[in-house]
Amino acid sequence: MNPKNFDEVPLSQQQSLGDIKIDGDGNTINNFQAKQIIVNSNSDKEIRVQEQLDTKSPYKGLEAFDLYDRDRFFGRDQLCNQLVDELNKTNLVLLLGASGSGKSSIAKAGLIPHYLKKYSNNFFGLVFTPDQDPFEALYSNLSNQKYTQSESSIAKKASKKTLCQVVGKLKKSNEFWLIFIDQFEEIFTTSEPEKRDAFIYSLVELSDNYRNDSNLKIIVAMRSDFLDRLDSNPANLLARATEGHRPLITQMHQDELRLAIEKPAAQHGVKFEVGLTEEIIKSVQGQAGYLPLLQYTLDLLWVTEGIQEHNRTLHINTYRKLGGVREALKQRVDEIYNTLSKQGKLAAKRIFLKLVEIGGDAESVTEWQTVRRRATLSEFTDVIEKKVLVKLINAKLLVSDSDLSKKSKSEKTNLKISTVEVAHEVLLTCWPLLNDWIKENRQNIALYNRLKEDAAHWKIRKTHPSTKDKFTDHPDSELWSGSKLEKAQELERDPIFREVLGGFNDEEKEFVENSLNLRERQRRRTIISLAGFSAFSLLLASFAGIGWRQAEIGQIQAFVQSSEAKFMLNRDSFNPLIDALAAGERLQRLPLKNNNSKLHSDVMKALTQAIFWVQEKNQLQGHRDFIQRVAFSSNNEVIATASYDHTIKLWQPNGNQITTLNGHSAPILDISFSSDDQRIASASEDHTVIIWDLQGNALQTLEGHQDWVNSVNFSPDGSKLVSASDDMTIKIWDSTGNLLNTILAHNQPVLAVAYSPDNTMLATASLDGTAKLWDARGNLLKILEGHKDILLDLEFSPDSEILATASKDGTIKLWNRKGEPNRTLFDPEDSRSDPEGFLDITFSPDGKIITAASSDNTIKVWNLEENLISRLQAHSSRINSVDFSPDGKTLASASNDLTAKLWQIERPRLNIIPEAGEVYSIDVAQNDEFIASTSISTDVDKGNYVKLWDTQGSLIRKWKVDSWLYSLAVSSTRNLILGSDSEGRIWLWDQNGKLLNSITAHERAVQEVIFSQDDSMIATASEDGTARIFKPTGEVLSPPMEHTGTVTSVSFNPKSSLIATASSDGTIKFWDLNGTLIQTLEGHEKGVLMVRFSANGHLLASAGQDRTVKLWNSEGKLVKTMEGHDAAVTSIAFSTSGDLLASGSDDGTVMLWNIEGELLTTLSGHKGDVNTVTFSSDSLFLISGGADNRVLLWKIEHLTLEGLISEGCEWLYEFLMSHPDRRKGLCR
């Protein structure tokens, strides 16, 4: 149970060098796919220390790398080359990454120097951030470089054409322009909406118009957690323009990180003490956005050492005294803060909170996004505030474009236009005190910043009437009204707001006062109007009602879009459900809601997909640092979490916190409950193990280890305790804390230790890459070798027959109790060249499945047949721990994102069956006795099988087939199974897999084969352009029924002697059972891929490549055309009850319709084409299969708006009860 990943650097945690404006925890990607840039470094060259000493620190602290830092920017050459290659393919790149991933740095200190060297005097670089007005920011950058204010003024116009006009007017034909727009998330959090939209239009138009100009390249750098903002218009235009060109920066490998650490010092003639670099690398493993912290710590280390000729070494002891990378910045900020007076501390609090922006809508139910805010110096007028501001700037915690230590005659003017901001956003998350301030005041911060901006705009437009435009022709249009104004009044009266944020300034007070005056004038006019024109006012009221309804529809649509984006980002999370419920409950309250079928189906889709896929049940929040371990008590009454914040927290399963255990002086790395659930043991970096009772009292402190204690475990009978340490030993203690035995277990740190449940064995895992089996007394039984890298964790199965070991090599190996290898588990989709491995593993209580915590932010779930059955997108940062509840229904996970989460293993409405290849066909036996499926695998070793499953997704039996099967059908009487293959044959088996018959039916592949209603006939559809009818014995009953293209599908009418065929020629044909053509149906614009008669034979449904489903009556008349799919409709099925129709499409969705052709809901979740759909015989399940190698069983009963809302609220009940701040009117 190892807390430290040593050499590995998780790809999910992003590098950070420079002025990055992105949250470290928000590094997951939503429905817009991002492409990881994975750097494989082979730089093993020795770093040589220069003889000449330069005592100035070469490290940047929290400041940004820029063009002039090229000579001290190391470790990113290969990444820079890959980005140059990306820009050679396109002129617009959206560069994504988490906070501190190095987006700014790679552009400023990597790409710009590269192009400057290549183009020399013909190079021109534009670098700016959007701020409140991106056009003004562009103008300022142009005018501050080689262009006059007059020449640059063209950039100030907020227009779709502006960027094209700037380039067209100013760029010379022989010039190479690189436009780098940094911190693009500001366009959503800070920029004015009109300016934002115009700028995005302008940016896309520039890319489009200059796509063939190789001398113009644009890089837009944005926090990856803002990617869902590209889901709505016009931002979705940018999403389309950058499709395929959205690289996601991944972390530096160890040798590159070593360059970044050692090379700057070596150039200044300074070296690192042996072992220091390794300790630094070890301490930053798995930390999101750690590189700003690293640069700050190295800079502080340099200054603290006092580098001189006689001292040219950076020492381990000095580094440790500073607290290491994790603690250095925090301790330094605490130190500065604690030197301030009481008034100074309050001023510091005000300053920091004025430099914070809260992204997102304060009225929404979605999570808040904290970003730094660029403030003008004029906002800080208090004398003490100014003094503290200077102190924080001098300490490099804040940065300003003005030197506050110097006064000038124009100081007042300079203060008005000069700005200050937090040096790096990492400070917002790594200083717990500031984090708490933000959480306590975030709603006030969001409201106040909005008021501050609107007041400033109002003042400008009032003072300078020329700023009016056609959209806002009077300054009063900026004034507030309604609930916003009421909240502003409440804020002004709030004593905490006045103390913490300083209250309103004169400009803001004037803004609020004028808003109140305007409201009063409007109220009086309304009274007069109502008195004189009551009838007319009633008419106005009705218009107002219409206006309210339209506004409410807009809110519903916004929540639906948000839910859709979050679902594409993470379908396992309950965040899509929260937004879908917000939309659903608003729709319930909407007058005339039944008049808008499109809105209803959109809401139903959002609710349906969220409820079908959700697994997250609750979150445990309260720790201030990484959560390293989570564990259930055996009675399922308590959940314990252990954190780097030195505490253990105990929780009820419903998410309510019970108590906090304080006692360790360093991060806690592991915890274990005793078998009677009366004690908890904890292992810590402070070299101790503490035993606690559940009231939080420390009973014993076990001392003796000489280094970090990585793992601790009670024996199953509770009589002993074993601990494992970096000191390479394991220690066995009795229940009262007496040391019984010390074993030198490995020649490198021991990272995990576990007792077998039968109490007969111990197992250890080590950094040396081996596991060892010991008897209960500590005698070595067996050394387990086979992994290719260090071992990170191990666990016995509940019956003690299997030992699972997890390694950095990206595999989990299963061994029998004798230590003999059994099988290997891995993620077949993990294509990373340097997998980080699995940090923690656990068996389910029944021993049938095993789960692993991964550094790629996911939880992997396997069955013991080596099938990966689930991949949960669980957290926004590395997952350190997983544990099952005793009943096996709930899985807990703990992460570096400061949360522990509870997941329900089985989705209530959805079963997932993993297949070995693309699923082509499924059918259901009578009375749902089994589901038959066939898939085509490109892996020759896996072969192609017919598989039979029960409705819970458990495999009943399977048999191998020597050819590719395209279609399956199950008879309605004897459960015989038909298959058709690529060689033109049809096969007949019994349900035990015994081959009964094989018929060569066609010269080319048979696309589909079906039974007649009474199983007396078989019909086939073939690529040879014909359909045929046979007896099951192989006797031919009809001549070929011909089309001019491939016959794709065939269907018997269950109530008549009619048979329908569909073809790629775009037609449907009706035939009698003798093969005589009766009628040809035309209507599809492209090929027809499937036809199916309804159970009563009255309707025929057809699925087309033209993206439509059509309904025809039995006489061949078109009844209805159903549109909604975004790609070819590949499969259709009527329910046996006759009231539903399902359609599957290459767009990855299944749509559910009533027989009138009205869309009821859309089932999303397949990650590729849907090839086949069918209903269970009781119509309670819909079953689909597709190109994502999965069969999905959807439970479709009670799919109503009211039913889904009730079900969703029931799912979220415990979360909303334990997190009242997230409820916001939901599920009342």
Segments in the chain below pLDDT 50: 1-44, 361-366, 407-416, 466-473, 530, 533, 536-540, 831-834, 940
Starting at the earlier edge strand, list the strands of the sheet with 657-662: 627-632, 639-643, 647-651, 657-662
Q: Encoding tokens for residue 393?
A: 């700037």
Strand-pairing partners, residue 309, are: none
**With contact defined as beta carbons under 8 Å apart, do 641 and 682 qualify?**
no
The verdict on whether omega for the bond into residue 264 sits within 30 degrees of 0, i.e. cis, is no
The alpha carbon torsion through 51, 54, 59, 65 (nearest 10 deg) reads -100
Rounded distance between C-alpha atoms, residue 602 and residue 609, angstroms: 11
Please answer whether residues 227 and 34 qualify as being in contact, where contact means their C-beta atoms are separated by less than 8 angstroms.
yes
Which residues are within 8 A (CB) of 381 and not within 5 positions of it... i.e. 6 or more apart? 505
Backbone angles phi, psi at 152, to 5 degrees: -80, -15
* pLDDT at residue 471, rounded to an integer: 38
Order of strands, edge to edge, in the sheet holding 689-693? 668-673, 679-684, 689-693, 698-702
Residue 867: its pLDDT value, please?
Answer: 78
CA distances from 819 to 657, 746, 756 (A): 41, 17, 13
Domain count, the chain: 5
Q: For residue 257, is it within any domain?
A: no
Residues 346, 347, 353, 356, Cα dihedral to 10°: -150
- CA 1146 to chain CA mean position, Å: 24
Q: What is the pLDDT of residue 677?
A: 94
Question: Rounded to an integer, what distance in angstroms lies between the CA atom of residue 510 and that of residue 504?
Answer: 9
For residue 1047, the Cα-to-chain-centroid distance in whole angstroms is 43
CA distance 226 to 99: 11
Strands 1026-1030 and 216-223, sheet pairing = unpaired
Sheet containing strand 1067-1072, edge to edge, reads 1047-1052, 1058-1063, 1067-1072, 1077-1082
- Cα–Cα distance, 1102 to 1066 (Å, whole number): 11
pLDDT value at residue 11 = 27
Q: Using CA atoms, how far apart are residues 427 and 372, in angstroms rounded to an integer?
A: 10
- d(C-alpha 1208, C-alpha 910), whole Å: 14
List the Cα angle 611/616/617 in 5-degree steps.
95
Distance CA 547, CA 553 (A): 10
> 756 in a domain, yes or no?
yes
The helix or strand, by DSSP H or E, that contains position 915, with its residue range, turns out to be none
Q: Would you say residue 615 lies in a domain?
A: no
Query: What's the confidence (pLDDT) of residue 615?
Result: 94
State which of 484, 507, 532 marks the end of a domain. 532
Query: Residue 311 and residue 298: Cα distance in Å, rounded?
Result: 16
Residue 672's CATH number: 2.130.10.10
pLDDT of residue 1059: 97
Domain assignment of residue 835, yes or no: yes
Which structural domain, as residue segments, surrounds residue 402? Answer: 331-532
* Domain-ending residue, one of 190, 223, 250: 250
Mean pLDDT of the chain: 85
Alpha-carbon separation of residue 702 from 630, 1104, 1177 (angstroms): 21, 72, 63
- 1212 and 1183 together in one domain: no
**Cα–Cα nearest to 896, from 37, 189, 290:** 290
- Strand order in 616-621's β-sheet? 616-621, 899-904, 890-895, 879-884
Helix, strand, coil percentages (3-state) for the chain, rounded to 5, are 30, 30, 40
pLDDT given at position 194: 84
- Domain co-membership, 990 together with 871: no
Contacts of residue 542, defined as CB under 8 A and 6 or more positions apart, other chains included, come to: none
- Are both 567 and 630 inside the same structural domain? no
- Strand, helix or coil at 234? coil
In this structure, the answer to whether residues 898 and 922 fall within a common structural domain is no
Residue 56: inside a domain, yes or no? Answer: no
If asked whether residues 713 and 844 sit together in one domain, one would say yes
Residues 453 and 593 in one domain: no
* Domain identity same for 651 and 744: yes
* CATH number assigned to the domain comprising residue 224: 3.40.50.300
Same domain, 145 and 179: yes
* Contact by Cβ (8 Å): 880, 840: yes
Whether residue 1227 is contained in a domain is answered as no
C-alpha 621 chain-centroid distance? 18
* Claim to verify: residue 821 and residue 931 sit in the same structural domain: no
Q: Are 1086 and 1102 in contact (CB under 8 A)?
A: no
723 and 802 inside one domain: yes
End residue of a domain, out of 224, 250, 276 = 250
Q: How far is CA 256 from the centre of its chain?
A: 27
Residue 244: exposure state from Cβ atoms within 10 A (0-12, 13-18, ≥19): exposed
Let me know whether 865 and 773 are in one domain.
yes
Encoded tokens for 770: 């081996």
In the beta sheet, which residues pair with residue 1174? 1183
pLDDT at 386: 87
Co-location of 108 and 160 in the same domain: yes
Residue 1066: which of 1080, 1077, 1050 has the closest Cα? 1080
Helix axes 597-613, 1201-1218, angle to 10 degrees: 50
